[in-house]
Amino acid sequence: MIRRAEPNDARAIYEILSKTDDSWTMGVIESELKTESSRAFVYMDEEGAVQGFVDIKILYDEADLMHIAVSEEMRGKGIGARLLAKAIEEAEGKAIALEVRMGNFKAISLYEKYDFKKESVRKNYYHGEDAAIMWRRK
């Protein structure tokens, strides 16, 4: 089940992000969940545990996909795709931008399935690794 993220989800979101190389702190997550332009959602399993997270920031006529992450044990089950579809729905037809590690082939493949296209590269964006800048313009 996907639902809007709530402030009490911050700890579970932090736990998921801490297993990635993401640097968001609890304070940043808590702040992001309160930001008016942010639309954050969680995926919950049958037991009610948060297993995935997506955050899209709506900015005027475009959107920025800030995060999408799934717990290690739930990867490969289509949760990321469902969260991405929810973020696209929330963008309401606006163009969506994102950054992704050039070496994250699974993520790039997922984004391409949802009509994101590589438009440029940010050198050394991820602590020495380049980032692909991808856009979905529909």
Token pair 């964006």 is found at: 125
The CATH number for 34's domain is 3.40.630.30
What tens digit of pLDDT does each residue of 77-103 get?
A: 999 999 999 999 999 999 999 999 999
The tally of domains found in the chain comes to: 1
Task: Return the pLDDT at 117.
Answer: 98
Going by C-beta distance under 8 Å and a sequence separation of 6 or more, which residues neighbour residue 126? 21, 101
Task: Return the pLDDT at 15.
Answer: 93
Q: What is the mean pLDDT of residues 57-62?
A: 93
What is the band of 44 on the pLDDT scale with cuts at 50, 70, 90? very high
Residue 21 has pLDDT above 80, yes or no: no
- Burial class from Cβ neighbours inside 10 Å (0-12, 13-18, 19+) for residue 61 reads exposed
What is the band of 123 on the pLDDT scale with cuts at 50, 70, 90? very high
